[in-house]
Structure 1
């Protein structure tokens, strides 16, 4: 049958789509950013759709010939890119109306384990409201509420857990004793595959979790052993430090950096992730334990690289931002005369030398600001490499003696360039 998967290139959506393709279904992949998705998942028929913006008429046009819709789209926290109410509530309402108008046989909606009225966060409130409006819909619907989804691919919260597991020397944790129930991405995909069958139950909400509830200490410790690393002492971070980090991450989200360490994620960790393990039997599904998931996907060097580089990535980006920003500011202020003197010593006219210093300093500041804005970060890093190359070539032509300068003004640019190259290689988020 023809099945539409909304958010088909996300962590959950990609595993769901892959399972449906293997089962012989024709999958229509729907999402906002399709260039990379088409390259990564060529087996899907891709069309652009934004759950937060698409009208009922838009959906009806997209869903022609579709028998089942699987909604894997969602957001954790409001940001310039994500609007929780628009995605979780208004978008789902329009989608449900369109499914009814287009004659879609079934809507499978992915929610989250533990959502309820007692959890006073925007994430939980909007997820719960979406479930309530589907319950009132005449559609043939089913709601799946997975626990913490662990997958061989690393993204979001489970990527953060891998980073914590790979942290050098210690395991820094907050809310270390919070309890979490897990499900594997492949088990969740199998559940969706069973939900699209004609004989599947309907108009029901099911939690999908393994019965074992693990503390964050247990999760990170088991991940560390899975990575092949020695056990490390747990350092329980003060809540005030965690909240400060989350506040910074919230601010960075407005620059396009969607860190899993934001306030909403911290609150979700505090409350834990719990659900009814017995619900999986309704689908004839046996959810594997966290240990079984790790055993089925043995780690390799790529997992260790990712875990060790997880916190190195923001450190590298921060270092580069500070380096280029300060370089530009110093060039325009206290270091201006010295920089001009370097050029005039080589025979350059004073006015031209001053203009070159100002232009170079402004370029440095501009690259730093472009790096801070996520959509232009890659271009900024590429610009850093080009300017460094021009600086080295120009220095070799104008002042070749600086290669032997004991302070190494030219030599030090080479490791800075490789740092930018490393950041460019680590920039992808999924």
Structure 2
């Protein structure tokens, strides 16, 4: 079967692979995402449409997106509320309107991507709203199929898999919280093949299938296997008590509300403790596809240097942003406070005369503003570039007025050169997907 399929969440880790797999099998892909400018450049062959579930809350709003569509694959999901993400909008309000719109438009086939552990007993808004979505789908008059995968793995890494790989690449030892949580990883290519099969003639319907891989591995085993896959020397796994993880979860929750999406959040930990393995539903046999275990997937997926870099830099990047932002912020605050007289004296030494005070004041203000702006998620890369350019301006002005500081034993001009490189690193690693 082929035709036109609407893939929702087509810019996501899972949705992008599913859209590509469907396209390779002859489907015309209408790709829905909240923001489409960047993904449209990556996949120009898709028909990109804006699909923001927080705005698509009526069947009428969905109607234009469903025009000439034969099937829908919904891959939209958010882990936790905050910074534009709403579990209620993504998992309940949007899907309810989508189902009504499909029924009105005569679009019969709906493949809904859920997750293992998506039930009320998990005790998280994520699981409760995901479970409500499943009930909405099951109660509809559509030809539906619900897929509930365990941990998704691929050459690419995002969210939880990115974190696990970073833990595996941690120097000297690999820290984990708990460690006995059981995964049954599913290669993303196998999931994509399952979705393609689910849209084929005669595919099963009105079923909810847990998608557990054939190999069960604990968190500790997953970390060790990933470390070996990256060619790193074996290292001990340190099981951290949950009391030590609590502050990190609080910080992760706060960052999530500020727009810094992080898998180190309360919801992720609760879901892992509840269920991340799923049950053997026979999904592979039901859909007529093959399913590979985690060890086999790693053996069939040769590691690249980019994989190792990503894992090693996973923790380095947030530290770089924090250090860079605090460097500018504290520098400005010091100039306004205890360092004011020294700053003005240096400018007098450089020949600024009566302009020394205003230049010091505006320079300190710029430092404070840029330091704070760096922490605003959508602005980070551009602010980092501006910091680098502003530093070039500082060095040009300093070289013209105070050239001897280049050979000062404390190296006041030389020391900003590594900071400029740090700015470029932050800007260059801004991509999220």
Normalising by structure 2, what TM-score?
Answer: 0.97
For structure 2, the residue ranges without an aligned partner over 5 or more in a row are none
Is residue 423 from structure 1 mapped to residue 426 from structure 2 by the alignment? yes
Q: Which residue of 2 aligns with 1:321?
A: 325
Is the 2:381–2:428 contact (alpha carbons within 8 Å) kept by the matching residues of 1? no
Residues 265-292 of structure 1: per-residue CA shift (max 9 Å, x gap) = 1212222412222431211223110011
Q: 1:82-121 residue pairs with structure 2 within 5 A?
A: 82-121=85-124
Deviation at residue 51 of structure 1 after TM alignment = 1.7
Q: Give a deviation string over 1:35-72, Cα, whole Å, max 9, x none.
A: 11011112211011112221321211111100000000
Q: What corresponds to 2:29 in structure 1?
A: 27
1:163 corresponds to 2:166: yes
Partners of 1:394 and 1:272 in 2: how far apart?
Answer: 59
Q: Deviations over 1:10-42 (max 9, x none)?
A: 111011011101101100000011111011112
Alignment of 1:17-416 (within 5 A): 17-54=19-56, 55-280=58-283, 281-350=285-354, 352-416=355-419
Q: Give the C-alpha shift of residue 9 in structure 1.
A: 1.4
Residue by residue over 1:154-174, the C-alpha shift from the partner in whole angstroms, topping out at 9 and shown as x without a partner, is 111101111111111110000
What are the superposed Cα offsets for residues 365-386 of structure 1, whole Å, 9 maximum, x if unpaired?
Answer: 1111111110111121011111
Deviation at 1:131, TM superposition (A): 0.5
Partner deviation per Cα, 1:129-168 (whole Å, 9 max, x = no partner): 1101111111111100011000111111101111111111
Residue aligned with 2:282, SS? helix
CA distance in 2, matches of 1:291, 1:354: 65
SS in 2 for 1:267: helix
| Contact 1:78/1:84, CA 8 A, preserved across alignment | yes
What is the distance in 2 between the residues matched to 1:242 and 1:113?
A: 24
Give a deviation string over 1:238-296, Cα, whole Å, max 9, x none.
21221110110111122210011111112122224122224312112231100111112
Cα distance in 2 for residues equivalent to 1:345 and 1:278:
77
1:207-245 CA deviation, whole Å, 9 max, x = no partner? 111132211000010000000001111111121221110
Tell me the distance in 1 between the aligned counterparts of 2:89 and 2:142.
Answer: 21
Residues 178 and 241, structure 2, Cα contact 8 Å, conserved in 1: no
Cα distance in 1, alignment partners of residues 322 and 54 from structure 2:
32
| Contact 1:209 1:287 (C-alpha < 8 Å) held by counterparts | no
Structure 1 position 113, deviation (Å): 1.3
3-state SS of paired residue (1:125): helix
CA RMSD of aligned residues (A): 1.0
Match of 2:4 in 1: 2
Size of the alignment, in residue pairs?
Answer: 429
Rounded to whole Å, the distance in 2 between the matches of 1:420 and 1:108 is 43
Q: Residue 16 of structure 1 aligns to a residue in which SS?
A: helix
8 Å CA contact 2:209–2:281 kept in 1: the answer is: no
The answer as to whether partners of 2:331 and 2:367 remain within 8 angstroms in 1 is yes
CA distance in 2, matches of 1:26, 1:107: 16
Question: With structure 1 as the length reference, what TM-score do the two structures score?
Answer: 0.98
Output the CA distance in 2 between the equivalents of 1:378 and 1:115. 35
Deviations 1:162-208 (A, max 9, x none): 11111111100002111111111110001100111121111111111
Instruction: Using the TM superposition, give the Cα deviation of residue 410 of structure 1 relative to its aligned residue in structure 2, in angstroms.
Output: 0.6
- Rounded to whole Å, the distance in 2 between the matches of 1:232 and 1:292 is 22
Distance 1:305 1:343 in 2: 42
